[in-house]
Amino acid sequence: MKLRDKGLFAALVIAIYLACLPSLALAETLYVQAKTAQLRSGKTSLDTVVANLKYGDELEVLKRDGSWVEVRTTSGARGWIFANKLTASKPSGGSDTLAQLGRSMRRGEAAGTTASAGARGLDKTSEGYANRAGISQQDRDAVDRMTAYQLTDQEVEEFLKEGGLGEYAK
């Protein structure tokens, strides 16, 4: 490369860098670090819900105010979210992909489990284990009930509200 070309090349690199700079400097991205979260029209838990967000959703930060952050979702919705439900690091799906691969390579599915595993009692594998380990029916029933125990997100939300927890803090 001639000296002149080198100069042009360097100028081009600097130009590209400068062109990228404003967007790098301005856009702060945060992610939802909670199972669910509400995007609200204002900075209190009494304000109306603009959108329901889920774990890992990407948000662009617009403004911060105390415990609340104004954000824009990737679909363009704009509102306020409680800061404790946000994280700067992207929740990783990497290990799950690897886990999927591991399972596929082990050429099987954990025997007897279905997509809704965890929602309804003991699966065949742990049933088999219980038989071999001589676990009593009473203890099996206890783990069965524990596995099937249901609480809705709404019930948890009510509980937080009653206790003045999370975004309901007084």
Q: Return residues touching other proteins (CB under 8 A).
A: 33-36, 55-56, 84-85, 95-113, 117-119, 122-126, 128-130, 132-133, 135-136, 138-140, 142-143, 145-147, 149, 151, 155-156, 159-160, 162-166, 168-169
Nearer to other proteins, 12 or 99 (CB): 99
Torsion over CA: 112, 113, 116, 120 (sign): positive
Beta strands in the chain (DSSP E): 29-32, 36-40, 49-54, 58-65, 68-73, 78-82, 86-87
Dist CA 7 CA 93 (whole Å): 43
Nearer to other proteins, 18 or 133 (CB): 133
Q: How far is the CB of 21 from other proteins (least distance, A)?
A: 30
Q: How far is the CB of 152 from other proteins (least distance, A)?
A: 10
**What is the number of H-type helices and E-type strands within the chain?**
5, 7
Nearer to other proteins, 22 or 66 (CB): 66
Dist CA 61 CA 31 (whole Å): 10
Nearer to other proteins, 11 or 119 (CB): 119
Q: Is-contact 78 50, C-beta < 8 A? A: yes
Q: How far is the CB of 168 from other proteins (least distance, A)?
A: 8
| Nearest in space to 85 (alpha carbons), one of 60, 53, 46 | 53
Q: How far is the CB of 29 from other proteins (least distance, A)?
A: 18
Q: How far is the CB of 94 from other proteins (least distance, A)?
A: 10
